[in-house]
Structure 1
């Protein structure tokens, strides 16, 4: 399954490096996107590594509503610091360049949530959330009468969350 134990260790350290470098909670889909867009680890191995890192206490999986967010633990930081030099410079450079060019979109995605779930009879519940750090600024649930409407609401929220939030706050002044 794995070419060797060195590759296994390097890949797990690389994941810890990414979590440490970003220093923000990441969803599984965000870490998967970073890894796959840079062709660093195949999808199935990545999921296995993440599970093993969680089991060993190097990353923490916290659930907020329906979202699972992954963060590096102090134990994970200690391991990374100790074995930092075992991560190939080329992989660190690849990650650093990716993070530098995508940091604003990664942070925006982390702070602005939108999802929907079916309720039955072609009805959906849309959940919109805006976070600033650990603080939840808004958590709004809206009904939608179709899958298309639910996706549309999520898209509008992602594009216009700041204006929507500001107008809502102005309403309460």
Structure 2
């Protein structure tokens, strides 16, 4: 039997490879916790180790970090794929089947902000569907607090904003 930490690292690669889209830290961690495979800290260490080794890369947008597998990660996965037992492979399939739609939705609402050259902040809000932008908005606001408020409210209210804008523009 392979070393557990190696299996966790390979499992993360397999999750990212099979999902076909970036997964958040919490989505990866949830797989391990829901399956009672390991604890939170061990899962975090495995994610960190994979990233440090260049097998996965992270992208952070305002309080949300998502991970994708790199080309080196795919090559490594091919070399160590047999370390994933049939039972673990089945668990990965089940987790992705049950959670795939909600995970895609969760990752399709993006909100970020940055300091504007001439003062204030630019807030970028986006809804994507299959990596195609459905709505893309940018705002200039005066303070970091306003920028954070817009970003924090985007996931909760983006559907309402989309409907309102469509109603106004189509009406």
SS at match of 2:68: strand
Aligned-residue offset at 1:98: 1.6
Aligned-residue offset at 1:154: 5.7
* TM-score, scaled relative to structure 1: 0.72
SS at match of 2:37: coil
- CA offsets, 1:97-135, max 9 Å, x none? 1211121111111113579xxxxxxxxxx9864223444
Q: Would you say 1:138 and 2:136 are equivalent positions?
A: yes
Q: How does 1:12-161 map to 2 (within 5 A)?
A: 12-113=9-110, 129-136=126-133, 137-139=135-137, 153=153, 156-157=156-157, 161=159
SS at match of 1:57: coil
Aligned-residue offset at 1:156: 4.6
Alpha-carbon distance change, 101 to 134 in structure 1, aligned in 2, over 3 angstroms:
closer
* TM-score, scaled relative to structure 2: 0.73
Q: Distance in 1 between matches of 2:137 and 2:28?
A: 24
- CA offsets, 1:5-60, max 9 Å, x none? 62121111111111111111111112112221111221111111111111111001
Listed as ranges, the gaps of 5+ residues in structure 1 are: 116-125, 144-148
Q: Distance in 1 between matches of 2:127 and 2:32?
A: 26
Question: How many pairs does the alignment contain?
Answer: 155
Q: Is the 8 A contact 2:62 2:111 kept in 1?
A: no
- RMSD of aligned residue pairs (Cα, Å): 3.4
